[in-house]
Structure 1
Amino acid sequence: MSSKPAVSAVIPHYGESAPTMKLIEKLQQQTFDGEIEIIVSDDNSPEPFPQVGGVKVIHRTTNGGFGTNVNTGAEQATGEWLMILNSDLELTSTFVEEMLNAVEKQAKPAIFSPQVVGHEGEAQWVARKFPSTFIHAWNWFTPVARFRDTNWWHRLAGHDVRAVGGKTLTVDWLMGACLMLPTRIFQEVGGFDERFFMNSEEVDLQMRLRDKGYPAIFLGDVMVTHEGGGSSESTKRRQWLTTSHFMYEAKWNKHRILAPTLTAVSLLNFGFNAARSLKNKEVHPLKTFADELKIIRDGKKMVHG
């Protein structure tokens, strides 16, 4: 028997089976000589995920969102380490071994993420600052989107620009595409808060872990490739994201100023788009303004009623 701890890899699944099947194959081909328990939690997909040899496949009867789906899979986990993997990750054959070697060097329990990159090798800004109203407002302010490639834009957007390849450091929170933590501390804090349907659930989890003394640690010397983007249309994703921000604010922030702040920023966006529309007839400032107000209104209503 290997002396290395067993790893439970939980893959929350929804949609097409092919990416998840590819990830399972990569996990089954790992050079790691310990046990890897593979769990697929199907979030009531339109086409149920098939049974696969050597894999625990769980079929939920309702669609609960990312956090709920991970919780369902984690309930079946028996490994010492819990690894939460998006289905669109691409792993090298040594990935699990590299992660275990890296986390076992740390002095105390924590939640970890490797460096996550896109297919062109671009960093996906795994490490982030805890959300603030300013950060939400900055990301809502469309005129500055043209500066997304600059270091200062990323700083203001809440990205921890210190987290680059080769570094290991403690950060506020880590993007949820690829997370690893001791199963016992995930259970200790009750897993993900299932009130979050999509987005912000990993921030909330890491706030609660931090309160228990478990930090978030970026492992820059381990790398994984992530497709990212998701399959849902952008309007739906933006609504999910905004709603999650209202839920996070309601849970963690004393001052409920997100709605008026985003509304004020939408007015600035409207002015900018009105100026653009003088030269570009494809720009529709009133429609964009109305769409943004609806997202704000619906997000607030879903949380506060």
Structure 2
Amino acid sequence: MNAVLPPSRGLVVSVVSHGHGALVQALLNDMARLCAATVQRVVLTQNLPEPEPLPPPQGWPFVLQCVKNRTPLGFGANHNRALAGATEPFVCVLNPDIGLVGHDPFAQLTESAAQPGTGCAYPVQLDAHGRVQDSERELPTPSALWRRRLLGRRETRVDWVNAACLVLPTTVWRAVGGFDEAYFMYCEDVDLCLRVRLQGGALVRVPVQVVHAGQRASHRRWGHLRWHVRSLLRLWRSPVYGRARLLLRGETGGAGTIGRS
């Protein structure tokens, strides 16, 4: 007979590693130490060949499932497969380069995700120096990108958030169908957030912090920049973008206003 889990422990976390073995080991160690009361299962997808993480002496306090891809898959495809058939009440998409700053962020994230009307809960992301990162964005229209990239203006609306750390009710994840796998590496998170918004779900910033050490490859590599442009063009041509633009045009502040601290 299976034990009944307490309400606070019903989260499955999907992590995809592209040769990030050291980062994954550190993340899992922190989760084992801090998040045993919240995390029920972790699905680690190894997109490239690498050793499996070593468990702590007492073993993992959650179920750890390691999936080894024979052929590398895209961001959305990996997370969709990891979270397919999830029976936990909540799902989490988590980057391997996320750092937990001495506490369990998932307790508050799942508590927020459980509130009526919440489509997705996300933390405040800090860089390695403790500065708030620009993980919250407005709809990436051509004019918004012009203001951001060329004029250097800060965005004030929260129409979507990056997918470095997202917690969704499993019912919402199923209703939107997870990530659209037609996107490759870029704009999957934009599209996901817009579809959550179109179904009436709110994007809720939770006052809990994580460190995100990621760097944007599209700023440094021409190949990634081309993928980014292709994804943007696909997004702009999509029905989701068109419907979301009409929806957000009627709102005064998107999902909220961007907090800077």
- TM-score class, shorter: 0.7 to 0.9
RMSD of equivalent CA atoms: 2.3
Distance 2:25 2:13 in 1: 13
Residue 289 of structure 1 is matched in structure 2 by none
Asked if 1:223 corresponds to 2:209, the answer is: yes
Q: Which residue of 1 aligns with 2:18?
A: 14
Alpha-carbon distance in structure 2 between the residues aligned to 1:130 and 1:22 = 34
Determine which structure has greater relative contact order: mean sequence separation of CA pairs < 8 Å that are 6+ residues apart, divided by chain length: 2
Q: Is the 8 Å Cα contact of residues 5 and 80 (structure 1) preserved in structure 2?
A: no
Deviations 1:80-118 (A, max 9, x none): 1111110001013322223234434x3323111110010
Q: Distance in 2 between matches of 1:23 and 1:31?
A: 11
2:114 aligned with 1:100? no
Q: How far is 1:139 from its partner?
A: 4.6
CA contact (8 A) 2:24 2:53 kept: no
Residue identity in the other structure for 2:72: N
How many residue pairs align between the two structures?
Answer: 228
- TM-score, length basis structure 2: 0.78
2-side partners of 1:72 and 1:51: how far apart? 20
Which stretch of the first structure deviates more once superposed, 221-230 or 80-89? Answer: 221-230
Amino acid paired to 2:45: S
Distance, in Å, in 1 between the alignment partners of 2:177 and 2:72 is 20
In structure 2, distance between residues paired with 1:121 and 1:35: 25
Q: For residue 189 of structure 1, what is the aligned residue in structure 2?
A: 176
Deviation at 1:193, TM superposition (A): 0.4
Structure with bigger helix share is: 1
2:227 paired residue number: 240
Percent of matched pairs sharing the same residue:
23
Secondary structure of 2:118's partner? coil
What is the TM-score of this pair, normalised by structure 1?
Answer: 0.68
**In structure 1, distance between residues paired with 2:111 and 2:177:** 26
Contact 2:76–2:181, Cα closer than 8 Å, also in 1: yes
Structure 2 gap segments, 5+ residues each: 56-62, 243-261
Structure 1: 4+ residue segments shifted above 6 A: none
* Partner of residue 253, structure 2: none
Write the deviation string for residues 164-185 of structure 1: whole angstroms up to 9, x where unpaired: xxxxxxx311111110001221
SS of equivalent to 1:238: helix
Instruction: Report if the CA contact (8 A) 1:30-1:96 is conserved.
Output: no
Amino acid in the other structure paired with 2:7: S
Larger radius of gyration: 1
